[in-house]
Amino acid sequence: MGKHSDIASKILSRADLLNKVVSEKQSGKSVVFTNGCFDILHKGHVDYLAKAADKGDVLVVAVNSDASVKRLGKSPSRPIQDENARAYLIAALGSVTYVTIFDEDTPEVLIDLLIPDVLVKGSDYKPENIVGYKTVTENGGRVETIDFIEGYSTTAIEKKIKSS
């Protein structure tokens, strides 16, 4: 299999992802879950995902669909890249095991389905306020936050580009 195929094979439908996660758990691996828009991939994203991956054996990243990003109320020009491009870029990262795209406003349904061992979000959230907290903790998992690298955000990059 070539590099392109390796990357593309990480992007899974919900049903295929569930099968992979069940298999990974049965083999004793801990599954880490996080989500986001990842509109313009930057150092902050790479750092965050690498640190998330360090919290377990398998990192699942759920990428917001284009429609989901629009509903989040970010700038009208978002998403800048379409959902397939964003998923492909995230899948290309060595720290990421699997990627899926979700269309709901939050990944709650996906978290309830997968029941990850570790749920990770940025430290701008309090763990108990993170979507999926109840599902993960009631099933013996943990919810953790990761600090962002100061000065790196898609919004800041978008503003910088527009002001150039």
SS3 at position 1: coil
Cis peptide before 79 (omega within 30 of 0): yes
SS3 at position 69: helix
**In which band, very low, low, confident or very high, does the pLDDT at 58 lie, cut at 50, 70 and 90?**
very high
**If you search the block for the tokens 């509903």, which residue do you land on?**
71
How many domains does the chain contain in total? 1
Q: Which domain holds residue 16?
A: 3-163
CA gap 140, 163 in Å, rounded: 48
| Tens of pLDDT, residues 77-93 | 789 899 999 999 999 99
Does residue 28 have a pLDDT over 90?
yes
Q: Quote the pLDDT of residue 160.
A: 72
Does residue 11 have a pLDDT over 90?
yes
Question: What percentage of residues in the chain have a pLDDT greater than 70?
Answer: 96
SS3 content of the chain, % helix, strand, coil (to 5): 45, 20, 40
Does residue 152 have a pLDDT over 70?
no
> Which of 31, 33, 7 is CA-nearest to residue 106?
33
What CATH number has the domain bearing residue 82?
A: 3.40.50.620
* Of 5-9, 24-28, 145-149, minimum mean pLDDT range: 145-149
Element (H, E) at 113: helix 108-114
Residue 123 · residue 51 · CB < 8 Å: no
What is this structure's pTM?
0.93
Average pLDDT of the segment spanning 61-88: 91
CA gap 27, 162 in Å, rounded: 48
> Which of 52, 55, 56, 77 is CA-nearest to residue 66?
77
Structure tokens at 124: 């701008």
